[in-house]
Amino acid sequence: MKLFTKLALVSAVAVSSNAMAMQAMDDAALSATTGQDGISIGIAASEIHIDKVHVFDGDGLSASATPAGAANSGVISIADITLTANANALTSGNLADLVIDAEGGTTPYLNIAASVAGMDITMGPITVNDATGSAGAYVAGGAATEATILESLTLSTGATTANIQLGNAPQGAMIVLAGAMTGGLTISDLSLKDNSTNGQGSIGVESIRVTDTGTTDTLNIGADINVTTAGLKVVAMKTGTDMYIKGVSLGSAAGKIGDIAVSNVTTSHMVNGAATAGAVITISGH
**Separation in Å, CA 93 to CA 66, 112, 207, 233:** 51, 19, 28, 32
Q: What is the pLDDT of residue 22?
A: 42
As a whole number, the mean pLDDT across the chain is: 86
Q: How far apart are CA 171 and CA 44, in angstroms?
A: 29
What pLDDT digit, counting tens, does each position of 208-242 carry? Answer: 999 999 988 889 888 999 999 989 999 999 999 99
User: pLDDT over 90 for what percent of the chain?
Assistant: 67
> Is the bond into 170 cis (omega within 30 degrees of 0)?
no
Q: How far apart are CA 40 and CA 92, in angstroms?
A: 12
Q: What is the pLDDT of residue 5?
A: 45
Q: How far apart are CA 212 and CA 222, in angstroms?
A: 12
> Residue 193 forms beta bridges with which residues?
202
Give the count of beta carbons closer than 10 Å to the beta carbon of residue 272.
5
For strand 74-85 and strand 126-132, is the pairing parallel, antiparallel, or unpaired?
Answer: antiparallel
Q: How far apart are CA 180 and CA 241, in angstroms?
A: 12
The whole-model pTM stands at: 0.75
Contacting residues for 102 by C-beta, under 8 A, at least 6 apart:
38, 108, 109, 110, 111
Q: How far apart are CA 22 and CA 43, in angstroms?
A: 9
Q: What is the pLDDT of residue 103?
A: 95
Tell the burial category of 192 from Cβ atoms under 10 Å away from its Cβ (0-12, 13-18, 19+): middle
What 3-state class would DSSP assign to 7? helix
H helix intervals, 126-174: none
Domain boundaries, the chain: 2-19+40-283
Mean pLDDT of 3-24: 43
H helix intervals, the chain: 2-20, 27-34
Tell the burial category of 207 from Cβ atoms under 10 Å away from its Cβ (0-12, 13-18, 19+): middle
What pLDDT digit, counting tens, does each position of 51-106 carry? Answer: 999 999 999 999 999 999 999 999 999 999 999 988 888 999 999 999 999 999 99
Q: How far apart are CA 204 and CA 125, in angstroms?
A: 14
Please provide residue 153's backbone torsions phi and psi, each rounded to the nearest 5 degrees: -165, 135
196 pLDDT band (50/70/90 cuts)? confident
